[in-house]
């Protein structure tokens, strides 16, 4: 999975499974953002943030109230479809498959759940890491799972995806912060939407925001979140 992500990064295409699902739906026909949100069981604001971001990058366009794929977006969506299935599945079924495939794979890996009590379900980003990384990275994955499961009921859907992206970065590199432009590119989300989610997370005491005059806005784990990491290490 990591090799797949690196390859998509090299090509400059989307890296989010949510984006993959949205593009697959638009491959079937043009849709309103509210319709896409309903089909994927996401909020309209959540879906609109992704559409706005990838519109600016030439994958989708908006006309007469409908979102549709550009030639660039259609080529990428067909690539997703060919990668995800060789059967004559409906596009919506494939979209749901795209969104849930990593969760199902992670739940099958019971080794990641041992020693952490009631996990509440291994979160989806873990499937990107399992079986390919060093013992140290696997330890950080397990710690991340523990922390995420302890906070997931206290944050919104969008906030959870932001925190998951931060922890995916932590699990891969061992750092407890990254810059907002990196996070935005990783998630493929609209900047305004992302900053609102980050400020809401800051108000909940989960992250901090710091503006570096040279490097831009930095987002990192708060003291309370680092304390939770230490708890999960025990």
Split into its structural domains, the chain has a count of: 2
Residue 46: inside a domain: yes
pLDDT band for position 17 (cuts 50, 70, 90): confident
pLDDT band for position 56 (cuts 50, 70, 90): confident
Average confidence (pLDDT) over 20-37: 89
Q: Of 156, 126, 194, whose CA–CA distance to 42 is shortest?
A: 156
Q: Is residue 3 over pLDDT 60?
A: no
Question: Would you state the pLDDT for residue 119?
Answer: 44
Q: 87-107 burial, b for 16+ CB within 10 Å, e for fewer?
A: eeeebeebbbbbbeebbebbb
pLDDT band for position 225 (cuts 50, 70, 90): very high
How do residues 77-92 score in pLDDT, each as one tens digit? 888 888 776 554 556 6
Question: Would you state the pLDDT for residue 118?
Answer: 42
Q: Which of the two residues, 60 and 137, has the higher pLDDT score?
A: 60
Q: Are residues 153 and 222 in the same domain?
A: yes
Q: Is residue 39 over pLDDT 90?
A: no
Token pair of 91, please?
């596009």
Residue 42: inside a domain: yes
Rounded to whole angstroms, the Cα distance separating 177 from 13 reads 24
Q: Are residues 206 and 125 in the same domain?
A: yes
Asked if 130 and 168 touch (Cβ cutoff 8 Å), the reply is no
For the domain that residue 31 is a member of, what is the CATH number? 1.10.10.10
Residue 199: inside a domain: yes
Q: Are residues 120 and 221 in the same domain?
A: yes
Residue 189: inside a domain: yes
* Domain finish residue from 56, 75, 102: 102
- Rounded to the nearest 10 degrees, what angle do helices 91-108 and 17-28 cross at? 160
* Domain finish residue from 41, 70, 102: 102
Least confident of 19-23, 118-122, 143-147, 222-226: 118-122
**Beta-bridge partners for 63:** 66
- Percentage of the chain exceeding pLDDT 90: 21
Question: Would you state the pLDDT for residue 170?
Answer: 87
Q: Is residue 14 over pLDDT 50?
A: no
Q: Is residue 106 over pLDDT 50?
A: no
**Beta-bridge partners for 179:** 218
Token pair of 108, please?
């099958």
Q: Is residue 94 over pLDDT 90?
A: no
Residue 108: inside a domain: no
- Expressed in angstroms, the distance from the first to the final Cα of the chain is 29
Token pair of 175, please?
């750092």
Question: Which range among 18-27, 82-91, 106-115 has the greatest average pLDDT?
Answer: 18-27
Q: Is residue 55 over pLDDT 80?
A: yes
* Domain finish residue from 70, 102, 134: 102
Average pLDDT of the chain to the nearest whole number: 77
Q: Is residue 9 over pLDDT 80?
A: no
Residue 153: inside a domain: yes
Asked if 170 and 176 touch (Cβ cutoff 8 Å), the reply is yes
Q: Is residue 2 over pLDDT 60?
A: no
Burial class (CB in 10 A: 0-12, 13-18, 19+), 4: exposed
217 alpha carbon, distance to own chain's centre: 20
Average confidence (pLDDT) over 168-191: 85
Q: Are residues 173 and 87 in the same domain?
A: no
Rounded to whole angstroms, the Cα distance separating 189 from 191 reads 6
> What range defines the domain where residue 91 resides?
2-102
Q: Are residues 122 and 30 in the same domain?
A: no
Residue 142: inside a domain: yes
Largest CA distance in the chain: 56
How do residues 112-168 score in pLDDT, each as one tens digit? 444 444 444 444 555 554 454 567 778 888 888 888 888 888 888 788 888 988 988
Q: Are residues 86 and 135 in the same domain?
A: no
């Amino acid at each position: 999975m990591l090799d797949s992500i690196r390859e998509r990064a090299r090509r400059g295409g989307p890296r989010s499974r949510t984006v993959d699902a949205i593009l697959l739906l638009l491959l079937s026909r043009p849709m309103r953002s509210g319709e896409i949100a309903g089909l994927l069981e996401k909020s309209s604001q959540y879906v609109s943030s992704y559409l706005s971001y990838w519109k600016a990058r030439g994958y989708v366009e908006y006309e007469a109230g409908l979102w549709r794929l550009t030639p660039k977006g259609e080529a990428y969506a067909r690539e997703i479809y060919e990668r995800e299935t060789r059967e004559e599945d409906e596009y919506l079924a494939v979209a749901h498959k795209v969104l849930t495939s990593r969760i199902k794979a992670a739940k099958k890996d019971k080794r990641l759940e041992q020693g952490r009590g009631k996990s509440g379900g291994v979160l989806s980003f873990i499937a990107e890491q399992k079986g390919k990384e060093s013992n140290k990275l696997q330890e950080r994955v397990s710690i991340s799972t523990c922390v995420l499961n302890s906070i997931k009921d206290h944050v919104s859907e969008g906030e959870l995806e932001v925190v998951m992206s931060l922890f995916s970065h932590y699990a891969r590199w061992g750092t407890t912060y990254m810059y907002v432009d990196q996070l935005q590119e990783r998630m493929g989300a609209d900047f305004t939407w992302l900053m609102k989610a980050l400020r809401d997370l800051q108000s909940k005491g989960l992250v901090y925001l710091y503006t570096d005059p040279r490097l831009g806005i930095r987002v990192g784990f708060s003291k309370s979140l680092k304390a939770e990491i230490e708890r999960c290490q025990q």
